[in-house]
Amino acid sequence: MNVNERIKSAIRDVPDFPKKGILFRDITPLLADPALCRDMVTEMKQQSDGLALDAVIGIESRGFLFGMMLAERLMIPFIPVRKVGKLPFKTVAHEYAMEYGSAIMEMHVDAVKPGMRILIHDDLLATGGTAAAAAELVNLQGGHVTSFSFIIALDSLGGRQRLLTYSQNIQTLVTYS
C-alpha cells in the first residue's frame, strides 16, 4: 500500500462532529504510527523538492505537528501562525470570515522578512479561510506564498479554488470529494 492509501485507511471518520451533519476527518490515529508519520513527511518533502523555500508556516494547532517536521526535513525555519493572543511578542494580525462569525490569526512581526518564499502547511483544506488568512499575514510582511501543503483536502468545499489567488502550487496527500 502506498503512503496515500495508508493515510486514508488510518484517518478516522467521526460523524456529527463538531456538530450534527458534519463528517470530521480525524488525523490523530496517524500520530500513533511513527513509520507512517515519517513517510508522510518524506512525501511532503518530495512534493516541495525544487521549490525555493525560505520557511514553513504551520497553522495552529494541527499544522504545527507536521509543519515543524517538514521544516526540519527541508532545513529551513518554522514559523507558527496562531489564534489571537497566543504569541508573546509583537504581532501582525489578520481578521477573516468563518462559516459562523470571524477569527483573527497572528504571527510575530519579525517572522517573515520581505521577499521570503513561504510554504504554508495545515492538516486540512476545507473552505480555505484559515490558510488564506495565513497567506494574508505573509503578504502583510512582504513575503511570497510559494506553496500550500495539506494532509487532507475536502475538494467539495472550494478551498483549493480560494487559495489559487495566493499560489498555484497546492499539495495534498489525500483528497475527498
**Considering the domain boundaries, does residue 78 fall inside one?**
yes
| Domain housing 169 | 52-176
Report how many domains make up the chain. 1
C-alpha to C-alpha distance for 32 and 128, rounded to whole angstroms? 27
User: What is the reported pLDDT for 99?
Assistant: 72
62 is known as an active-site residue: yes
Residue 44 lies in a domain: no
**1 part of a folded domain:** no
Q: Quick check: 150 and 173 in contact, CB under 8 A?
A: yes
Judge whether 23 lies within some domain: no
Evaluate whether 107 touches 122 at the Cβ level (below 8 Å): no
- Residue 28 inside a domain? The answer is no
Q: What's residue 56's pLDDT?
A: 98
Catalytic site residue from 43, 60, 62, 73: 62
For residue 5, indicate whether it is catalytic: no
For residue 126, the domain's CATH number is 3.40.50.2020
Determine the Cα–Cα distance for residues 34 and 36; give it in Å rounded to an integer.
Answer: 5
Query: Do the domain assignments include residue 144?
Result: yes
Check the CA dihedral 57-130-135-53 and report its sign: positive
pLDDT tens, residue order, the chain (177 aa): 999 999 999 999 999 999 999 999 999 999 999 999 999 999 999 999 999 999 999 999 999 999 999 999 999 999 999 999 999 999 999 999 877 789 999 999 999 999 999 999 999 999 999 999 999 999 999 999 999 999 999 999 999 999 999 999 999 999 999
